[in-house]
Amino acid sequence: MCGIVGYIGNKDVDSVILVGLEKLEYRGYDSAGIAAIDEGKLFIRKRKGRILDLYSLVNGKPIRGKIGIGHTRWATHGKVTDENAHPHVDCTGSVAVVHNGIIENYIELKDELTSLGHKFVSETDSEVIPHLIEEYYEGNLLEAVLKTVNKLQGAFAFVVISAKEPDKMIGVRYASPLILGIGDDEMLFASDIPALLSHTKRIITLEDGDVVLATQKEYEIFDFEGRKRSRDVTVVTWEADMVEKEGFPHYMLKEIHEQPKVFVKNIASYIKEGEPQILKDFNLRRILLNKNEFFIQASGTSLHAGMIGTYMLQNLARIKSQAEYSSEFRYKNPVFDPRTLVVAISQSGETADTLAGVRLAKSNGLDVLSIVNVQESTIARESDYVIYINAGPEIGVASTKAYTAQLLILALLSLEIGYLKGFITDSQLADYVNELKALPEKMRSILAKEAQIQHIAEKFYSANNFMFLGRGINFPTALEGALKLKEISYIHATGYAAGEMKHGPIALVDENLPVVVVAPRTSVYSKTISNIQEVRARGGRIIIVATDGDENVREFGEEIIYIPETFEIFTPILSIIPLQLLAYHIAVLRNCDVDKPRNLAKSVTVE
């Protein structure tokens, strides 16, 4: 949460920082600010609200310079106010800091600094950082920062500039992400890759305990003791135009429509000579084949993909598997068996709960495989093995294309293991592979029904509550459909296993309640139809996601959205798409900020 940017180079800092912050706005959007050094003096512009509000502040009161830092905030400590917006400064107004994370010992540090005469103007934990730097400054900014980091507890990525040393920018990473971008005659810091792409593709993903001293032309990396460290430079494969809306009104809609393309790309890279080769590394194959249980831990949408993964792994590869919220997994005191593989699924690769689950598993000696989108992210780097889902940058806070890409990877993984273990024959594998190759076209045919789904949204957008039901492998689809709707439209939505409805939630059904039932033709189809009857008998307004050609459901549903037929194991890949579109259009009709829903952030880097 929170996005930070830093720049030193030849360009005007206001546009570099503001554009960079726009690319990171998905990380938080309670307030935003910028600091720059011009002719030896530090200037700050900050205010509560979005980056657009900061633009108008800067338009009215320009800020200049070739070195600067910026911040977009997701509030933790302190209300959403102008004073609590970053950057924060020291008493002299010469040191400015932008911070992402939580300084856990800030109260004692603040007391200590106050007793030494420092004056605080915000309620944030972050403000202790510039004051500590001020306190320790004896003519060398790097030394003051090194002393400061050794006083801090908690999670922190921060960038510092000082009018006393206007040709230096220092970035620190500890338990919150920070990337160094190495350009031609310019250096940048950012919380995430999209902010750097229009300047450079050469990056260093910093590691915990890294302190980087950057000038316009050079950088040096130190540890907290001031010893030099070296890090490899990576060239990212994402392009700058991947983070544009490309004519769509929202990133979310663009990303929904990108799903077939992501499938085509992944199928081409992971299926070779008719076989899934996701574990092509022989060691990884050997290691995974020796595991007797897969324990998937993830958060939010990624957990829903993981839940579907358990059905795939059990059915295709006959592997015992379970999925759990990362935030619960950690505190359950899990019993670890050395033959358990812990699987972390995360779009961002930075989710604090999921990362903590990875660390817990590793500290207990277990192997960890991560399924991640963002290259070089912390979860990817800390796991023993990583499979990338190659969905490209996902900017909309509501995850869509990453979810279906995660499902594809889980399906490929399950097929490969099932085939290698002998549970899937050659001809069955060929059928599965052919069907996977047919999915992008089937996804396109659902996207072509957007006008019908928009019409359904117009009918139901003013409802106060929704229920989503699904059974078997589509039970998590119901959870995901409900999550999509509630997070972007603020309508209360409950997702439930259709067979469980009679144990409680059926009490909610009346003639005002829209009930979305995911009922493709699968092994639990007839059971789902019985559940639809139960809703119908109580007057609920039924919207059904059904398989093409299923005339039977017309009798029960007020609205039917047809999806193409596919193998049961792949149905969740198709059945979620109408629910993503439904949530999107309902949110638009309710005038909600689709890409930046209230109270949320894309990367949840606090526990």
- 124 burial level (CB within 10 Å; 0-12, 13-18, 19+): buried
Residue 602 is among the residues annotated as catalytic for this protein = yes
Number of neighbouring beta carbons within 10 Å of residue 272: 11
Residue (300 or 564) nearer to ligand AGP, CB: 300
Residues forming beta bridges with residue 37, ordered by sequence position: 42, 67
Q: What is the largest CA-CA distance in the chain?
A: 80
Q: 323 pairs with which residues across the strands?
A: 296
Q: Which residue, 26 or 525, is less far from ligand AGP as judged by CB?
A: 26
Distance from first CA to last CA of the chain, Å, rounded?
11
Q: Which is nearer to ligand AGP, 260 or 481 (CB)?
A: 481
Contact 296, 345 (CB under 8 A): yes
Proportion of the chain in helix, strand, coil states, percent, rounded to 5: 40, 25, 35
Sites of contact with ligand AGP (CB under 6 A): 299-302, 346-348, 351, 354, 397-399, 487, 600, 603-604
Residue 492's alpha-carbon distances to 30, 353, 358, 582, in angstroms, are 23, 24, 32, 14
Q: In what order do the strands lie in the sheet with 320-325?
A: 320-325, 293-298, 340-346, 367-372, 385-388
Q: What's the min distance (Å) between Cβ of 413 and ligand AGP?
A: 17
> Is 459 noted as a catalytic residue in this protein?
no
Q: Could you tell me if 312 and 412 are in contact, meaning their C-beta atoms sit under 8 angstroms apart? A: no
The phi, psi pair for 322, rounded to 5°, reads -140, 160
Strand pairing partners for 47?
32
Kindly name the residue from 46, 48, 484, 602 that is annotated as catalytic: 602
Q: Which is nearer to ligand AGP, 347 or 414 (CB)?
A: 347
Q: Where are the alpha helices (DSSP H) in 209-299?
A: 251-257, 259-270, 282-289
Hey, what amino acid is at 124?
A: T
Among the listed residues 2, 46, 110, 164, the single catalytic one is: 2
Measured from the CB atom, the residue of 47 and 362 that comes closer to ligand AGP is: 362
Nearer to ligand AGP, 210 or 487 (CB): 487
Q: Which residue is nearest to ligand AGP (CB)?
A: 300
Helices (H), 195-297: 251-257, 259-270, 282-289
Question: In the complex, what is the shortest distance from the CB of residue 595 to ligand AGP, in angstroms, rounded to a whole number?
Answer: 11
Please say which residue, 4 or 37, places its beta carbon nearer to ligand AGP: 4
Asked whether 173 and 206 are in contact (CB, 8 A), the reply is yes
Look up tokens 């409900």; give the residue. Answer: 482
Catalytic (active-site) positions: 2, 602
